[in-house]
Amino acid sequence: MTADRALIVGIESTCDETGCAVVADGRTVLSNIVASQIDLHARFGGVVPEIASRAHIEAINTVIGQAMAKSGVQPADVAAVAVANEPGLIGSLLVGLMAAKTLAWVWDKPLVAVNHVCAHAYSPALDAEPIEYPAAALVCSGGHTALYRCQSPTELTLLGGTIDDAAGEAFDKVAGILRLGFPGGPAIDRAASCGDPTVVKLPRSLLKGQSLDFSFSGVKTAVLYHVNGLPGRRKGKKGRLGPHAQRTMAQPNAGRGIENFTSQEIADLAASFRAAVVDTLIIKLRRAAKATGAKTLILGGGVSANSALRSAARKLADKLRCRLRLPAMAFTVDNAAMTAGLGYHYLRAGRLADYSLTARGTTGR
Ligand code: KG4
Ligand code: ZN
């Protein structure tokens, strides 16, 4: 087998999806099995770490077996085992890491460590043309919002990140406020498609100066106030309010409680929230493109499935005369194909891990 046809087995268990994939040459996906835990977490309105790690333990062997069987690849032909060992939920990461170490040891293959967020930035290359570098990448998912300057698949410099909620986390929390279910991103995207994004005025944070950091907790709280009113205040009651709170309370129907909102009002609020998040993401991506001079824009992560974000990114790329690389929908959510794909490039660069490899959980941005 030539180095260009190296077959990489990838393992993903950073959050609530257990994944195993076999990828040839860093781009051709031979199999990509994902066992989602959404049903287990839905009634809690978010991912419960302890439940997630237990579910990974139950699923991992089956998922690996299915991925190998579907690919038709024999262990002897595998070039390396790649694992997402950071960032993520620590208990979940450990399950995938142990499985990957075990495979590497039993099959006597090299072990490769992959950063999960960097793998999202590589995901548009899967089952597609190679990405042309340098690029500016925006990764937004449930746990991360990050902008990178990318010189190659393996050389990424962090330009900015969220100082509070990640974009996907904000979608999930706002969907909770609107009682649209979990995961919130797809639910808000669906509801927003029937709504008017100009109806509710919501803030766009951290747009001053040239900051490449993000903050989504303000817009989330503005939605909460719009639905429930300000804590301890009824609509109509006079008092000293900040400018945004005044604006929020001045909006028609604000503060009545979600059960009193019509489905059209919920759709308008979902559309207004989606527009606020998308505007913010796109403004920052434009800044990153200008700051880096990159002619390729990359989107990745679960939120890159968002229809409004995808079309706004297309418009931005046209305006800046940049190429735009979007992941196929199957590779927007957490998956092991992107881990294997990026792992191939680490293998080629000789960046191998050993059995002392540890998992590193999310520690902020
Ligand atoms: O990348 P991902 O699968 O997991 C993490 O690494 O966190 O992203 C999951 C996140 C969730 O917060 C989910 O609500 C969000 O991606 N998401 C979306 C959409 N589909 C998934 N957010 C906005 N619009 C969507 N269509
Ligand atoms: Zn992810």
Q: What is the band of 5 on the pLDDT scale with cuts at 50, 70, 90? A: confident
Rounded to an integer, what distance in angstroms lies between the CA atom of residue 81 and that of residue 347? Answer: 10
Q: What is the band of 71 on the pLDDT scale with cuts at 50, 70, 90? A: very high
| Percent share of the chain, pLDDT over 70 | 92
pLDDT of residue 2: 43
Shortest-distance atom of ligand 1 to CA 166: 12
Go through the chain and tell me how many residues it has: 365
Overall average pLDDT of the 228-253 stretch: 63
Q: What is the band of 3 on the pLDDT scale with cuts at 50, 70, 90? A: very low
List of residues 6+ apart from 61 with CB closer than 8 A: 99
Asked if pLDDT for residue 355 goes beyond 60, the answer is yes
Rounded to an integer, what distance in angstroms lies between the CA atom of residue 365 and that of residue 353? Answer: 24
Atom 14 (ligand 1) nearest CA: 185
Q: At what angle do helices 263-292 and 307-320 cross, to 10 degrees?
A: 30
Give residues (CB < 6 A) around ligand 1: 15, 141-143, 168-169, 171-172, 183-186, 189, 301-303, 305-306, 333-334
Overall average pLDDT of the 87-101 stretch: 97
List of residues 6+ apart from 240 with CB closer than 8 A: none
Annotate 103-140 with DSSP letters as a single string: HHHHHT--EEEEEHHHHHHHGGGTTSPPPPSSEEEEEE
* pLDDT tens-digit map of 146-198: 999 999 999 999 999 999 999 999 999 999 999 999 889 999 999 999 999 99
Q: What is the band of 207 on the pLDDT scale with cuts at 50, 70, 90? A: low
pLDDT of residue 362: 85
pLDDT of residue 255: 82
pLDDT of residue 4: 46
Rounded to an integer, what distance in angstroms lies between the CA atom of residue 281 and that of residue 170? Answer: 13
DSSP state of 325: E
Per-residue b or e along 77-93, where b marks 16 or more CB atoms closer than 10 Å to that residue's CB? ebbbbbbbbbbbbbbbb
pLDDT of residue 252: 61
Mean pLDDT score across all residues of the chain: 92
Residue 89 CA to its chain's centroid (Å): 14
Phi and psi of 247, rounded to 5°?
A: -65, -45
Question: Residue type for 274, please?
Answer: R
Atom 3 (ligand 1) nearest CA: 333
Structure tokens at 213: 């950091």
Overall average pLDDT of the 245-272 stretch: 83
Asked if pLDDT for residue 266 goes beyond 70, the answer is yes
List of residues 6+ apart from 16 with CB closer than 8 A: 36, 37, 38, 40, 41, 47, 52, 55, 92, 334
Structure tokens at 288: 């990153």
**Phi-psi domain of 12 (left: phi exceeds 0; alpha: psi -120 through 50; beta: other):** beta
Rounded to an integer, what distance in angstroms lies between the CA atom of residue 207 and that of residue 326? Answer: 24
Give the mutation target among 141, 169, 274, 304 for probing the ligand 1 site: most ligand atoms within 8 A of CB.
141
pTM of the model: 0.92
Atom 13 (ligand 1) nearest CA: 185
3-state secondary structure 39-70: HHHHCCCCCCHHHHHHHHHHHHHHHHHHHHHH
Strand pairing partners for 252?
A: none
Dist. CA 309 → ligand 2 center (Å): 17
Overall average pLDDT of the 350-363 stretch: 94
pLDDT of residue 230: 79
